[in-house]
Structure formats: structure tokens, C-alpha cells
Amino acid sequence: MWESVIGLEIHVQLNTKSKIFSPASTSFGAPQNTQACAIDLGMPGVLPVLNEEAVIMAVKFGIAVGSKILDNSIFARKNYFYPDLPKGYQISQYEIPIVSGGTMEIITNGKSKIINLTRAHLEEDAGKSIHDLYPNESAIDLNRAGTPLIEIVSEPEMENAEEAVQYLKNIHSLVRYLGISDGNMQEGSFRCDANISLKKKGSTKLGTRAEIKNINSFKYVESAINHEIERQAVILDRGDSVVQETRLYDPSKDETRSMRSKVEANDYRYFPDPDLLPVSISQDLIKDIKNNMPELPSAKKIRFISQYGLNEYDTVILVSDRELSEYFESTLKDSDLNPKMTANWIITEVLALAKKAYLSVKDYPVSSEDLTYLLLNVTNETISSKQAKDVFERMWDNKENPRDIIENEGMKQISDIGELNKIVDNIIKNNYKSVEEYQSGKDKLLGFFVGQVMKETQGQGNPKIINQLLKEKLKK
């Protein structure tokens, strides 16, 4: 009966060296209030000066999503009182943002859809209020105050949580490809507000929306949206109407709850900030940025499929993370490795261990060079894949060198047919019952025999040869 309509506002912290309006550092995790200068503290008499690096990053984003880059965009003051907002206003962009329009393609269930962007604008982040440090007092950390953000606003064009998450993931991947944000969601570098409303099936008239603030993981976005859709459907089903309000998602209770209604909403009294000039962007700058664009995920996907013959599924996984795709290509680099086999290895073995330890590519304990070495040994059949997996685990867990393991421990695959023949004969002799069962049609038992031979060879037998020998001998 109801169709959901979702629009997202994504806040992306830009990884500039200094803040958007002050020379203070932006690095995360410094002791509280050590990265806030007089300007960040909103001291009397201080003035903001725009960081050009932030402007360039916003333009990069705009170009990547095919937006219009507006010359002379305006910084405005958004006025409200909050203890971690030192000036009593946030410098943001209101009427004229730096980036206007643009699109992002998403693929869900094999179907492609274009999501239109409304705009993206530059603004400063606020500080942090800390309420659990002292029993009866709140503390304020202004290290984050003045960190540059771009706020990316989509049109309300997503129909369900799955589409919203996919859109969010694509933006996340894109800003990392562009190198304009570390995208770290735990540290708050990438946060999202979701606007959700329901309308009658087939109707073009949008319903009243609720905004869910500050969701900071893909998983939470999905459950927050699903919960909100359900909540609104219940209200509408019983004939009531949804209240326009701001809600908060509580992951510990897995529910959304009201923060403030429209009546309580602030009048932000936006007006152009007289301390800052309109942002002028020359055509030369835009040209320069265009010429230095990295390869974007969409282009890389097409290239991977045609250049390496990978399937769509594997490609999407590799390409979704710029560093992972680079790890893949650097493993392949100048070697005779089979791309499909390499992709497979990375997606199954490498990602399995990485996910278990929550490691991102830059923190992988195994370099792509070492992985190349390992996989080449599998390709030329020096070691079996089973052996390779063991070696890889040791490389990952103990940072051991694969050369040391394979060469020093004399680890190599037994491919000598004479030697394997003897072992196979022995196994068949000692398992006559199983042989009978196999010969009477229980094909599955082949695995059992392979396992026995492998056990006998301490995992070093060449599985291909063992398979062949067993099949031949068991026929008789």
C-alpha cells in the first residue's frame, strides 16, 4: 500500500592538512583541545580564511559526479547556540553551494539506477560535547571544530534501504578514490542523515518526512531506514499522519526516537558571511583538476572486466575499495599470474582474514609482492593450494616471509608419480570396504581417498595427480 521515498545527506570530512578556516591541524586522536587555535575557539576579533585545499577537494568531487561547479559560491552563517559551536554560528553554504547537480549510478539486484544529486557544499564541522567524562558536568573538545566537510545532498529518489545503502557505499568508495577523505565511519569522517517518507503506491505526492540524524555505519543506515519505514507505515495504516521531525537512531535499542519536532526547529537566520569573499574558481583550476583525476570506480570496473576477464561479481568487490583494487593489480603486476585465480584468492583468502581482523588494505600484514611470490609457487605447482593457504596464514599472522617458509622448510609439492603411486596403492589396499562402496556408485568417496593420500603426504601431494591416479585405479 505504501512506497517509501528516501533522500540522503552525507557529511564527508575532507582530509586536508589544516582546518577549513584556520591553520590548526586536522589529525584525529590528538589530546583534547590541543588542535584548536584562537580562530577555532571563536576568540573575539579573529577572522576565518578559507583553505584552498578544501575548495579543490570539493571541486574534485563535483567533477567526479558530473556536477556543475559554481563560480562565486557564497559562505553563509548558520546561527544557533550550542556549547561545542564556538562562534554561535556554523560557516556553511546556503543559497549558492560550490557544487550543483550531478549523478551517481547504483546497481541493486542486477538493476542499474541513476540517483540525482541536488548539491554538495562546503562547511565547517563543530566540536564535540562529552557528557560521560564528569558526573555533573559536560566537557567540550574543540579539536574537531573547523574540520572541513562537504555535505552531499541527494534527491529523494531511493525506494528502499538497499538502494540507500548502495548509494552511500558508492559515495564512500568515490571519496576514497578521489583521495579527499579517509571515509572512516568509526571516527566520524563519513556520516549520514536520512530523510524518509511514505506515499501511496503509485502516487506522485510525497508524504511528510522524518529526518534521522548522524548514522555512522552502513548496517545502521539499513536498519534505521527499515525501522523508520515500518514506524511510519504503522502510523499511516491506522489513519494518523506522520509528524515532521528530526529523529535519532539508537543502535543499542535498534529503534529511532524523536529529537525535535518542526515546531521546535531552529530558525538558523542564514545570511552571507561578511568575513569571507565569494569563492572564485577559474576555468584553469577546473581543467587542471580534470586532467589530474584518478581513474574512477565506474571506469575501473569496465576496464577490469575487459582487461582481466573477471566476472561482474568479483569486479564489484575489488573495485569498491580503491586500495583493494590497487592491491589486486599490484599483485598481478609483471607476473604471469592468472587474473581470475588472483582475484579469487584475494576475495576468498585475503578478505576473509582482513574482515576477521577489521583491517583495511593499508594495514594488511602481507605485501602484494609476497602474495605474488606465493601465488606463483601455486601456479608452477611447487606447492599445492592447500599448502599455500597454510603459508599465507603464517605470513598474515606472524609476518613470516614466504621464501623462508617454502625454501627453508623444503616445502614443495610431491609430484613424483612413482612415489604417489605407492602411496595410492597402499591407501586402496587398506580401505577395501570403501573401495567397494565407491565402485558400487558412491562417487563422493573420492574425496575421502584424496584426503587419505594428502594425509599420508603431509599435505604435500599434488592434488591434481592424486586425483588422476585414484580415479584410474578405483575404476578397476
Partner 1 sequence: MHNKTVSELKKDLKNKKISSVELTNHFVDRIKSIDSQLNSFISLTEEYAIAQAKKIDLEISKGKIRPLAGIPLAQKDIFCTKGLRTTCGSKMLENFISPYDATVVEKLNDAGMVIIGKTNMDEFAMGSSNETSYFGDVKNPWNTEYVPGGSSGGSAASVAARLIPCSTGTDTGGSIRQPASLTGVCGIKPTYGRVSRYGMIAFASSLDQAGVFTRTAEDCAILLTHISGYDPKDSTSSRKNVPDYEKECKQKFTSMTIGIPVEFLEDLDDTVKEVFEENIKVLEKNGCKFKKISLKSSKLGVSAYQVVAPAECSSNLSRFDGVRFGHRANNAKNIDDLYKKSRSEGFGQEVKRRILIGTYALSAGYYDAYYLKAQKIRQVISNEFAAAFKEVDLILGPTAPDCAFKIGEKVNDPIAMYLSDVFTVSTNLAGLPAMSLPMGFKNSLPLGLQIIGNHFDEAKILSLAHHYQQITDWHTKKPKVSGD
Residue type, 169: K
Instruction: Provide the CA 276 distance to its chain's centre, in angstroms.
Output: 34
Q: Shortest approach of partner 1 to residue 22 CB, angstroms?
A: 10
CB of 44 to partner 1, least distance (A): 4
C-alpha cell at 470: 585414484
**Residue 77 or 209 with smaller CB distance to partner 1:** 77
Cα dihedral sign for 165, 194, 190, 272?
Answer: positive
Q: How far is the CB of 197 from partner 1 (least distance, A)?
A: 22
Q: Smallest distance, Å, CB 135 to partner 1? A: 16
Nearer to partner 1, 45 or 110 (CB): 45
Q: Least distance in Å: CB of 281 to partner 1?
A: 15
Under a CB-based contact definition with an 8 Å cutoff, are residues 125 and 190 in contact?
no
Which CB sits closer to partner 1, 77 or 247? Answer: 77
Q: Measured from the CB atom, is 39 or 466 closer to partner 1?
A: 39
Please say which residue, 276 or 296, places its beta carbon nearer to partner 1.
276
CB atoms within 10 A of CB 352: 10
DSSP track, 305-354: HHHH---HHHHHHHHTSHHHHHHHHHHHTTS---HHHHHHHIIIIIHHHH
Residue ranges binding partner 1 (CB under 8 A): 38, 41-50, 77, 79, 81, 83, 86-89, 138, 140, 267, 269-271, 274-277
CA 257 to chain CA centroid, nearest Å? 27
Q: Which is nearer to partner 1, 39 or 427 (CB)?
A: 39
Query: Which residue's CB is nearer to partner 1, number 127 or number 183?
Result: 127
Nearer to partner 1, 132 or 409 (CB): 132
3-state helix, strand, coil in the chain (%, to 5): 40, 20, 40
Buried b (16+ CB within 10 A) or exposed e, 94-128: bebbbbbbbebebebeeeeeebebbbbbbbbbbbe
User: Is the Cβ of residue 41 or residue 236 nearer to partner 1 in the bound state?
Assistant: 41
| Cβ 165 to partner 1 shortest distance, Å | 34
CA dihedral 32, 34, 40, 42 (to 10 degrees): 80
Instruction: Calculate Rg over the CA atoms of the chain.
Output: 29
Burial of 296 (0-12, 13-18, 19+ CB in 10 A): middle
Residues sharing a CB contact under 8 Å with residue 238, sequence separation 6 or more, in sequence order: none
Residue holding cell 575404476? 475
Degrees, nearest 5: CA angle 361-366-368: 75
CA dist 170 and 153 (Å) reads: 14
One-letter amino acid for residue 198 of the chain: L
Q: Cell 569522517 identifies what position?
A: 189
User: Which C-beta is closer to partner 1: that of 87 or that of 300?
Assistant: 87
Which residue is it, cell 586536508? Answer: 16
